[in-house]
């Protein structure tokens, strides 16, 4: 971990002058256990924002209920919160004061299968596919893509909804199902698990069959990426452009660090989050599709994405496309 420590030290030294003005008591970051949160964890662990706040804390959220509690107006509990982009739009449309500052995860959806030969969405015709969460974003993306490929999602596939990615993984491993739509890091953990002893004796290997990002690009004829998740600013961060800028820098740096050192990143995350394994995280970092893009630059892609979601399930984004106030734009 020496590399990480040195890097962190360098970062904090470089940023020192900016903090001289006003230093916050506490900065709270929050996110789900997914790739978007790794940089947040790194920021908290490495002290990358020590210059702007006395303490920097990472608080995970696990389900929509916790997210709702964190997002309550006026409480000012969190400053930066990682979430799927559609959830951010949803909260914004429901009157929560927040702004999307960046998109960092550009798609982590995979069709995982027991059958190596399946490569595209169309190959899964007539097969039973596990889908965690009905009517959630992966489901809608899947349906959109299927439609685009000229297939009826209800007729041409046998979609079996389960309660969580965990259940899907469990069913895959127990050979009760052969195909599932999974997201990182669940995909990596499931693959790891099936390759490792003793599990592989029982279950044959699983494969990353279809990359839904790729299908998105292919079928919708655009770049092969989905603006899936990013960071929203809330509470005290909203009125503090300097803080946001400083955060953007730190986040970009941490994201880069994670991409360049998947194993260190995995170790760090697994240390904070018991539920994830170092190898799983490292694998997912290697596999995922990250790029730091500030929100205003991703606006077009986001609006297209939201438009697709809205067409099928308006409730996913709170009933309408978010207005321009949703996208944070640095004041020049």
Partner 1 sequence: MTLLRAWLAGIPAYLWSGWGAVASLCLLLAAWEGASAVYGALVLPDPGTVFATLAGLVDSGAAWPELAVTARRAATGLLLAIAAGSTLGMLAGISLTASMMSRPLVTVLLGTPPIAWLVLAMLWFGASDGTPVFTVFIACFPVIFVGALQGTRTLDGQLKEMATVFRLPVRMKLFDLYLPHVVSYLFPAWITALGTSWKVVVMAELLSSADGVGAALAVSRSHLDTAATLAWIAAVVVTLLAVEYLLLEPVKRELEGWRRQEREGSAA
> Which residues are 159's β-sheet partners?
129
Q: CA angle, corner 234, sides to 229 and 237, nearest 5? A: 115
Stretch that binds partner 1, among 24-32, 189-197, 208-216, 248-256 (CB under 8 A): 189-197
Stretch that binds partner 1, among 34-42, 44-52, 168-176, 288-296 (CB under 8 A): 168-176
For 180, the 3-state DSSP assignment is strand
Question: How far is the C-alpha of 323 from the C-alpha of 259, rounded, in Å?
Answer: 32
Closest to partner 1 by CB, 59 or 220: 59
Nearest to 140 by CA among 302, 298, 306: 306
- Tell the smallest beta-carbon distance from residue 167 to partner 1 (Å): 7
> Which residues are 113's β-sheet partners?
179, 207
- Tell the smallest beta-carbon distance from residue 68 to partner 1 (Å): 6
What is residue 122's DSSP assignment? G
304 binds partner 1 (CB under 8 A): no
53 binds partner 1 (CB under 8 A): no
Question: How far is the C-alpha of 264 from the C-alpha of 282, rounded, in Å?
Answer: 8
318 binds partner 1 (CB under 8 A): yes
316 binds partner 1 (CB under 8 A): yes
- Tell the smallest beta-carbon distance from residue 50 to partner 1 (Å): 24
Helix (H) or strand (E) holding 3: helix 2-15
**How many residues bind to partner 1 according to rule CB under 8 A?**
50
186 Cβ neighbours under 8 A, 6+ residues apart: 165, 166, 168, 169
User: With b meaning 16 or more CB within 10 Å and e meaning fewer, what string describes 282-291?
Assistant: bbbbebbbbe
Cβ atoms of residues 284 and 35 within 8 Å: yes
Nearest to 260 by CA among 7, 13, 37, 81: 7
* Count of beta carbons in the 10 Å neighbourhood of residue 278: 17
| 129-148: contacts with partner 1 (CB under 8 A) | 133-136
- From the centroid of its chain, how far is CA 38? 10
Member of 182, 276, 298, 302 binding partner 1 (CB under 8 A): 276
166 binds partner 1 (CB under 8 A): yes
Question: How far is the C-alpha of 167 from the C-alpha of 136, rounded, in Å?
Answer: 16
Stretch that binds partner 1, among 9-17, 24-32, 61-69, 255-263 (CB under 8 A): 61-69
Member of 9, 13, 14, 62 binding partner 1 (CB under 8 A): 62
Member of 4, 18, 67, 252 binding partner 1 (CB under 8 A): 67
Residue for token pair 């995982």: 112
Member of 3, 5, 9, 315 binding partner 1 (CB under 8 A): 315
65 binds partner 1 (CB under 8 A): yes
321 binds partner 1 (CB under 8 A): no
Question: How far is the C-alpha of 117 from the C-alpha of 123, rounded, in Å?
Answer: 9
Task: Print the binding letters for residues 194-233 with partner 1: x by CB under 8 A, - otherwise.
Answer: ----xx--xx------------------------------
Question: What token pair was written down for 278?
Answer: 């170092």
- Tell the smallest beta-carbon distance from residue 63 to partner 1 (Å): 6
Stretch that binds partner 1, among 36-44, 92-100, 115-123, 286-294 (CB under 8 A): 92-100
Closest to partner 1 by CB, 109 or 219: 109
Q: Which residues bind partner 1 (CB under 8 A)?
A: 62-69, 71-73, 87, 90-91, 94-96, 133-136, 159-164, 166-167, 169-171, 173-174, 176, 189-190, 193, 198-199, 202-203, 274-277, 313, 315-316, 318
């Amino acid at each position: 971990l020496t590399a990480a420590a040195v890097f962190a030290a360098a970062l904090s030294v470089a940023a020192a002058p900016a903090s001289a003005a006003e230093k916050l008591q506490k900065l709270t970051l929050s996110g789900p256990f997914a790739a978007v949160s790794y940089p947040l964890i790194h920021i908290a662990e490495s002290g990358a924002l020590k210059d702007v706040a006395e303490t920097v804390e990472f608080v995970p959220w696990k389900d929509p209920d916790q997210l709702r509690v964190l997002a309550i107006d006026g409480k000012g509990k969190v400053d930066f919160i990682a979430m799927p982009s559609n959830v951010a739009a949803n909260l914004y449309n429901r009157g929560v004061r927040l702004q999307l500052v960046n998109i960092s995860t550009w798609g982590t959806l995979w069709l995982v299968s027991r059958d190596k030969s399946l490569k595209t969405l169309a190959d899964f015709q007539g097969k039973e596919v596990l889908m965690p969460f009905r009517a959630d974003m992966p489901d809608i993306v899947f349906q959109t893509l299927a439609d685009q490929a000229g297939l009826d999602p209800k007729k041409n596939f046998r979609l079996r909804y389960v309660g969580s990615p965990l259940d899907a993984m469990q069913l895959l491993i127990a050979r009760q199902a052969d195909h599932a739509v999974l997201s990182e890091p669940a995909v990596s953990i499931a693959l790891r698990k099936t390759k490792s002893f003793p599990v592989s004796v029982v279950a044959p290997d699983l494969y990353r069959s279809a990359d839904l990002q790729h299908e998105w690009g292919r079928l919708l004829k655009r770049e092969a990426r989905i603006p899936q998740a990013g960071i929203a600013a809330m509470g005290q961060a909203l009125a503090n452009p300097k803080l946001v800028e400083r955060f953007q820098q730190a986040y970009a740096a941490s994201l880069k660090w994670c991409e360049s050192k998947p194993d260190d990143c995995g170790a760090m995350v697994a240390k904070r989050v018991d539920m994830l394994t170092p190898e799983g995280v490292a694998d997912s970092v290697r596999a995922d599709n990250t790029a730091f893009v500030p929100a205003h630059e991703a606006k077009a892609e986001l609006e297209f994405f939201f438009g697709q979601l809205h067409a099928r399930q308006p409730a996913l984004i709170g009933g309408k496309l978010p207005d321009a106030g949703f996208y944070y734009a640095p004041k020049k």
